[in-house]
Amino acid sequence: MVIIRKPADIKPSEITPKEIYLNRRRFLREAAAVAAAGASAALLPCVTQAGQKIPNARKSPLSTGEKPTSVQDITSYNNFYEFGTDKKDPARNAQNFRTFPWSVAIEGEVKKPAVYPFEDFLKHFPLEERIYRLRCVEAWSMVVPWVGFPLRDLIRRLEPTSRAKYVEFTTLHDPEQMPGQKPGLFGAGLDWPYVEGLRLDEAMHPLTILAVGLYGEMLPNQNGAPIRLVVPWKYGFKSIKSIVKIRFVEKQPLTTWMKAGPSEYGFYSNVNPTVDHPRWSQAAERRIGEDSLFSPKRKTLMFNGYAEQVASLYTGMDLKKFF
Ligand SMILES: Nc1nc2c(c(=O)[nH]1)N[C@H]1C(S)=C(S)[C@@H](COP(=O)(O)O)O[C@H]1N2
Ligand SMILES: [Mo]
């Protein structure tokens, strides 16, 4: 489904069914009740754009005390293959990416499927600043001061059915805007749109967030505007950008990277210094911004340093098999 288009392009057959409309109204009413009961939502203006200041994001106790990477590095060294495969490509090629209007379709095994405008999330979920380590599978890392809200807050509101075991996320598919999605040399040869997935308990973990900003401002386009996932104990590619669909499913989703290289990228993708990528070691990492001749590599930590919080999700699992 193409989300962004002029009203005239929308066929009558696509107009939101009444049930979905009513679900959305109920969602708003319940969210308003939560806000009135004390949790202060961010109350942003309706028109949002990259760089706009985010007021009153609470500082989260779940943040790392490590020094954040510079905003310059975070916004100019990116993996966002829809805009090119060079680290500098996304900052250049995503400049005119349109992220307004934007909506996220909620589908599958859930009692409240609907297409929610992005602003609904901003108005009704209190935003927090979460400073997290981000460890890319390519053995570099950053520390990012995200602004977002726990994915579990949204999931609870949507009421998954008992059949929902996994959550599948999909990025916008729009080759006109995303040149990397066109076949040819510029693309990464991935199967578009980009798809990621989590087990429902991973999605419900308090560390898992949907981010809408960084460094106190709405997300820059190259970082996944207007809304992206952040799962800090997994390799960066799980943290899917520019999400247009969240689907609750019974079976483990087939992700983009599993399709591209099943022997190299597994479903779990937990940061694990003892399980190497077939082509390189995962034992150490280079911290972006520290690449002087004298800065040693850092040792990669189990679950990217979040073992205390997340190890219990994987009790009894062979992490070499379920990589
Ligand atoms: N849709 C989409 N999401 C994506 C990617 C991508 O190419 N496309 N790259 C992933 C990878 S490999 C990483 S390391 C992180 C990088 O996020 P950042 O650019 O905000 O640091 O985004 C992830 N999310
Ligand atoms: Mo990555």
| Fold observed for domain 43-67+95-173+188-314 | Sulfite Oxidase; Chain A, domain 2 (3.90.420)
- For the chain, the structural domain boundaries read 43-67+95-173+188-314
- Residue type (1 letter), 309: Q
For ligand 1, the distance from its centroid to the CA atom of residue 136, given in whole angstroms, is: 9
Sheet holding 103-108, edge to edge: 114-117, 103-108, 243-249, 166-171, 195-199
Three-state secondary structure along the chain? Answer: CCCCCCHHHCCHHHCCCHHHHHHHHHHHHHHHHHHHCCCCCCCCCCCCCCCCECCCCEECCCCCCCCCCCHHHHCCCCCCHHHCCCCCHHHHHCCCCCCCCCEEEEEECECCCEEEEHHHHHHHCCCEEEEEEEECCCCEEEEEEEEEEEHHHHHHHHCECCCCCEEEEEECCCCCCCHHHCCCCCCCCCCCCCEEEEEHHHHCCCCCEEEEEECCEECCHHHCCCCEEECCCECHHHCCCCEEEEEEECCCCCCHHHHHCCCCCCCCCECCCCCCECCECCCEEEECCCCCCCCCCEECCHHHHCHHHHHHHHCCCCCCCCC
Q: How far from 23 is each of 1, 18, 166, 311, CA to CA, in Å?
A: 20, 9, 22, 36
The confidence score (pLDDT) of residue 3 equals 38
Among protein residues, the one with the nearest Cα to ligand 1's atom 16 is: 79
For ligand 1, the distance from its centroid to the CA atom of residue 236, given in whole angstroms, is: 6
The confidence score (pLDDT) of residue 44 equals 47
239 in a labelled binding site: yes
Ligand 1, pocket residues at CB < 6 Å: 78-82, 134, 136, 171, 194, 223-224, 236-237, 239-242
166 in a labelled binding site: no
Instruction: From 241, 245, 255, 258, give the residue whose CB has the most ligand 1 atoms within 8 Å, as the site to mutate.
Output: 241
82 in a labelled binding site: yes
Among protein residues, the one with the nearest Cα to ligand 1's atom 6 is: 80
Condensed to tens digits (0 to 9), the pLDDT of residues 155-166 reads 999 999 999 999
The confidence score (pLDDT) of residue 41 equals 45
- pLDDT < 50 regions, the chain: 1-15, 34-47
Helices 18-36 and 151-158, packing angle to 10 deg: 130
For ligand 1, the distance from its centroid to the CA atom of residue 303, given in whole angstroms, is: 18
The confidence score (pLDDT) of residue 243 equals 99
The confidence score (pLDDT) of residue 293 equals 74
The confidence score (pLDDT) of residue 29 equals 57
The ligand 1 atom at the shortest distance from the C-alpha of residue 194 is 1
Condensed to tens digits (0 to 9), the pLDDT of residues 34-56 reads 444 444 444 444 446 778 999 88
Among protein residues, the one with the nearest Cα to ligand 1's atom 4 is: 240
**Token match 């379920």: residue?**
322
Predicted structure pTM score: 0.88
